[in-house]
Amino acid sequence: MSIDVSCLCLTHGRHWLLAEAVESFRRQRIGSLTSELLIVNDCPEQELVCDMPGVVVVNTNEWIPDLSRKTNFAMVWARGRHACLWDDDDISLPGRIADGVSRMAGTLCYRPTACWSWGCGHITHMGQPLLCAAMFDRMAAIESGGCIEGEWNDKSLWDRFWPSGNVVQYQPKPEESQYIYRWAGIGWHESGGGEPDARVRAAQFRKAALGDPRFTPGRVEIKPEWKSNYRADVAMAIRTGKGDVLK
């Protein structure tokens, strides 16, 4: 079966976030498009399982200490013509996949330059960093060399596409934005707070994940759910002009 879009969810020890990431995938309105959610888990201490249709879980036996290498691994495993990053701590609203495919329009990469941002209970519409909300041609990414190991995965991949000129950027209005960028809410993030060394960033991330009191070793089943009605929350933020609707 051919797949139109592969959503690449790279995770490590943060199973408590995956329920919302999977639910974001389940709620996508894609019409005749086909899609898969590829969850790549490189935490050997934990086995993830999910029986929702369209979800593929790859549990590796060893840790991949570089997010760029892990992204390249996921792109090779995936089957979709198009691909998008599906960060485990972010929310994709139901129109994200269909909107991304339609706006690519034969290009190598579509990048929205604005999205919703959530943090400390507040939601605002802001400029969008790099590729976390983008859609791109998977094989073109692989053939270009993929993410550069040792660098930030989204920046290095964007740097592959940008010189070609075959990209489209668009600044969506608040009512068009289909992505909510969030922090995990526990004071650490895979971007590493500016740490330049990719292996150090990965090691810090792994240490924090395994040390979190919510971490559960062994077999963990992911059951999709949203903790809030994010479509309604965004609609209320637009309607009222208040940026404090996500709790």
d(CA 107, CA 215): 40
d(CA 168, CA 136): 10
Q: Break the chain into its structural domains and give their ranges.
A: 3-115+129-225
CATH class for domain 3-115+129-225? alpha beta
Phi, psi for residue 158 in degrees, rounded to 5:
-60, -40
Kindly state the tokens that stand for 33. Answer: 């498009």
Per-residue pLDDT of the chain (247 residues; tens, 9 = 90+): 789 999 999 999 999 999 999 999 999 999 999 999 999 999 999 999 999 999 999 999 999 999 999 999 999 999 999 999 999 999 999 999 999 999 998 999 999 999 998 876 678 888 766 688 999 999 999 999 999 998 888 888 999 999 999 999 999 999 999 999 987 654 445 555 567 788 888 898 899 999 999 999 999 999 999 999 999 989 988 888 755 443 3
**What is the residue whose two structure tokens read 């489209």?**
168
Helix axes 198-211, 67-77, angle to 10 degrees: 80
